[in-house]
Structures are given as structure tokens and as C-alpha cells.
Amino acid sequence: MGTSSSGRAQRVDARANRGRILDIAEEVFGKGGESASTEEVARLAGVGIATVFRHFPTKAALLQAVLVRRFDRLREQAEALLDTTDPGIAFFDFFRHLVADATTKIAIGEALLDAGGDSDGEAAQASNGLRRAVGALLQHAQQAGAVRDDVELPEVYALLVATSRTAAHAGLKDRVLSIVFDGLAPREGTEK
Amino acid sequence: MGTSSSGRAQRVDARANRGRILDIAEEVFGKGGESASTEEVARLAGVGIATVFRHFPTKAALLQAVLVRRFDRLREQAEALLDTTDPGIAFFDFFRHLVADATTKIAIGEALLDAGGDSDGEAAQASNGLRRAVGALLQHAQQAGAVRDDVELPEVYALLVATSRTAAHAGLKDRVLSIVFDGLAPREGTEK
């Protein structure tokens, strides 16, 4: 019985370690740069490198898990916004949120490619889940008359990706977004 | 005198060769891909590799010259459009033209970086010349009431770059551009 309780404690520890490693990895690799490494993640998480590799056999596996968790979290946020009272505000706020979030995501995605991982597989599935949730937000915003009827998810997503890659200079990003949002809004006199 | 006339002929030949090498290099490196090489440029231009290197001592120098010529040509086109009767059409048409042109330019720019060249120097200067010409087109279009008064060149250029990097799928690019152009247009009721 002592053994069983200690086994449980170990499992709880292992789960806590896994979560902490993912948190730190997201921070370390999200910043980008040459210095980002699995060793640094282990050090900042206060675990040995062996512990990191027990949870994530390769750097690519670690980065893939970071991306999946990040996409899942964004999807959950989008789904939560589906019940808000103003679908227009929900859509445009989430668009802005995704663009702000993108720098970190791009850095992690690039680290994943550098580590020999591919962006297919689990991360792609999680990314598709997010895309579907954005599609639902778009549809609600269109039903509420806050977004033009004639735009579809592919061009909205292309604009998301395009504006995400705009120079990090924050003021410029805001001005670019305001033009894109005006373009997405219904023209005056054509609103429902 | 025979020598002098033959010297002149050689200079004319050299100029013609230089132009042909640039034309072919633009085509070969503009397509991108692994197979693009200085050897292929020499072969397609019908000259020896030594002739290519006599004009352009390095691959980076060749690619730099290709980019400079391309930027200069685009700048001249923009300047020619400044005298057209409809500044709004001129601005939006040229925006569309730059986006269509971008795939090739991006491929050449990437080949230049791969070849160890930098995008500063002459190419950056030529690129700034183009940017200034686009600024003049923008100003004319704003004076004609075809573009919102409150947008400035930095965000217009950021949108140009962003939409240029949109998926090559042509239909999607058109739909993205139509949203961006609507965003740039004056709102109804606020036109001059």
C-alpha cells in the first residue's frame, strides 16, 4: 500500500513536471533566438535533462506538444466567445488577439521545423480545430451584420496570417488592422 | 582604326551580353527552386560561365543587379502612372501589380540571401526609390478622394508586403485584395 501511494505521488509529480516543462518551453522557444534549447528549458524548469526527455523523447516532440496546447487553448477561448452578447466585438477582438499571439507561435513553429519536426500531424489537427472555431465566430458576426456577408473563412484566415507577419512595431500593426477591419465591415447602406 | 572599331563592337557585345544575362537570371532565379544556378543562367544565355563572372564577379553581385533593375523598372512604371487621369485607378492597379510581381521578387531576394549577399546596399536604395514612387501615387489618390485621408505610406506598404506573402492561390489573393481595397477606400458619406 505504501508502494501504491508512492506510485500515485510519482504520477502526480510527473504530470506537474510535464506541465511545468511545457510552460517553460513555450516561454523559451516563444522568444525565438539562437539561445533557446532543451537544456535551458530543463534548467529553468528545475528538472534534469533526462526528465525532459522522459516526457518528450525529442526536441521536436516537445515543440509539437507546446504548439498543440497553444492551439487548443486558443480554440477554447474562441469557443467561449461564441456565447458572448456582441458577436461583432467577439470576432474582431479575437482576430486582434490571434495577431498579437502570432509572434510567439511563429517562433515556436520555426523552432519545430529547425528541430526536424513537421507541422503536419497533431499540431496541424489542433490548428484546424482553431480554424473551425474562428469560422464559427465569423458566421455569428456575419449573422449579426458586423461582417460583410460575402467574405468567407479562407480570405479571413489569409488576412489573419498576412497581418500576423506584419512588422512587430505595434502602432503600425494597429493601423494595418484598422484598415483590414474596415474592409471586413459591411459597407454603409448595405447593412442588414 | 580597325582595332578601335573592333573595340567598339566588343563593348556593344559586352553590353548586350550583360543585358541578356540579367534577363535570363531574372527568369531562372525568379522561379526559385533548387535547380536555379549561375551555370544554368550561362547555358540559357548562350555564354560561357567565365563571361557571366566577368560581368558579375559573384552570384550575389548578379542577383543584386537583377533586383536593382527590377526595382528601377517598377519605380519607372509607378512614376509613369503619376500622370494618368484617374489617380485612384492608378494607385489600386499598381498595388495589384506589385502584389502579382512579388512572388518573383521574393524568390530572387531569397536567392540573394542564400548566396551570402545582403539586401542592403544598392538593392535597398532601389527599393526605397520604388517606395517613394508608391508614396506619390498614394498622395495623388488621396487628393482625388479615392483613398482615405487618414492612411499613411507605412501601413500601405505593410499591407502590400502582407498581401504579397498570401498563398499563391490566385482567387484567394483577389478576395484578400478586395477586402484590403475596401478598407483603404473612404467610408461612404465621408468622401470629399
Contact A179 B155 (CB under 8 A): yes
Nearest to B172 among A154, A163, A187 (CB): A154
Same domain, B88 and B41: no
Q: What is the pTM of this model?
A: 0.79
Q: Which residue of A has its CA nearest to B170?
A: A155
Among B151, B176, B189, the residue with its CB nearest the CB of A159 is B176
* C-alpha cell read off for B184: 483603404
- Both A162 and A72 in one domain: the answer is yes
A175 to B188: CB separation less than 8 angstroms, yes or no: no
Determine the Cα–Cα distance for residues A144 and A140; give it in Å rounded to an integer. 6
Among residues A57, A74, A91, which one ends one of the domains? Answer: A57
Q: Which of A185, A191, A168, A184 is nearest to A107 (CA)?
A: A168
Tell me the CA distances in angstroms from A27 to A32, A40, A108, one per residue in order. Answer: 9, 11, 9
Average pLDDT of span B176-192: 76
Q: Which of A93-102, B103-112, B143-152 has the lowest mean pLDDT?
A: B103-112
Q: Does a structural domain hold residue B103?
A: yes
Q: CB contacts < 8 Å between A and B, how many?
A: 73
Backbone angles phi, psi at A183, to 5 degrees: -65, -30
Q: Do B97 and B152 reside in the same domain of the chain?
A: yes
Return mean pLDDT, chain B: 87
**Residues B63 and B53 occupy one common structural domain:** no
ipTM of the complex: 0.74
Residue B192: inside a domain: no
* Banded pLDDT at B138 (limits 50, 70, 90): very high
Number of domains in chain B: 2
CATH number at residue B50: 1.10.10.60
Please provide the average confidence, as pLDDT, over all residues in chain A: 87
A164 versus B5: which is more confidently predicted?
A: A164
Residues B110 and B130 placed together within one structural domain of the fold = yes
pLDDT in tens, A123-140: 889 999 999 999 999 999
Least CA distance to B171: which residue of chain A? A155
Q: What is the distance between the alpha carbons of residues B180 and B184, in angstroms, rounded to a whole number?
A: 6
Considering the domain architecture, whether residues A53 and A120 belong to the same structural domain is answered as no
Q: Check residue B192 and give its pLDDT.
A: 39
User: Bigger pLDDT: A117 or B177?
Assistant: B177
Interface test with A, best of B182, B184, B191 (most A CBs within 10 A): B182
**Distance to chain A for B34, nearest Cα, Å:** 19
Using CA atoms, how far apart are residues B165 and A173, in angstroms rounded to an integer? Answer: 16
Task: Tell if the CB–CB gap between A167 and B152 is shorter than 8 Å.
Answer: no
> Do A149 and A160 fall into the same domain?
yes
Q: CA of B79 to nearest chain A CA: how many angstroms apart? A: 25
Mean pLDDT of B107-136: 87
The length of chain B is 192
Three cell numbers written together for B138: 498614394
Please determine, for residue A175, whether its predicted confidence score (pLDDT) is greater than 90.
Answer: no
Which of A12-26, A166-180, B38-52, B109-123 is predicted most confidently?
A: B38-52
Q: Are residues A130 and A93 in the same domain?
A: yes
**Of the partner residues B155, B167, B187, the one whose CB lies closest to the CB of residue A158:** B167
- DSSP secondary structure code for residue B185 in this structure: S
Between CA A151 and CA B166 the distance in angstroms is 16
My answer on whether B68 and B79 are in the same domain is yes
d(CA A43, CA A52): 10
pLDDT at A33: 74
Residue B2's domain comprises: 1-57
Q: What angle do CA B124, B129, B133 make, to 5 degrees?
A: 145
Question: Which residues contact residue B88 at a Cβ distance below 8 angstroms, ignoring those fewer than 6 apart?
Answer: B141, B144, B145, B146, B147
- B161 and B79 co-located in one domain: yes
Cβ-based contacts of A161 with chain B (< 8 Å): 166
Contacts of B158 in chain A (CB under 8 A): 166-167, 172-173, 176
CA nearest to B129, candidates B56, B65, B69, B63? B69
Can you spell out the DSSP letters for A94-121? HHHHHHHHHHHHHHHHHHHHHTT--SSH
User: Collapsing DSSP states into helix, strand and coil, what is residue A56?
Assistant: coil
Res. B46: pLDDT tops 70: yes
pLDDT at A119: 67
Percentage of chain A with pLDDT > 90? Answer: 53
pLDDT value of position B176:
87
Round to whole Å and give the CA distance between B69 and B126.
Answer: 8
**Are A77 and A10 found together in one domain?**
no
Q: pLDDT class for B164, splitting at 50, 70, 90? A: confident
For residue B66, give the 3-state DSSP assignment. Answer: helix
Kindly report, residue by residue over A57-110, the tens digit of the pLDDT: 999 999 999 999 999 999 999 999 998 889 999 999 999 999 988 888 888 888
CATH at A143: 1.10.357.10
Specify the residue for cell string 456577408: A149
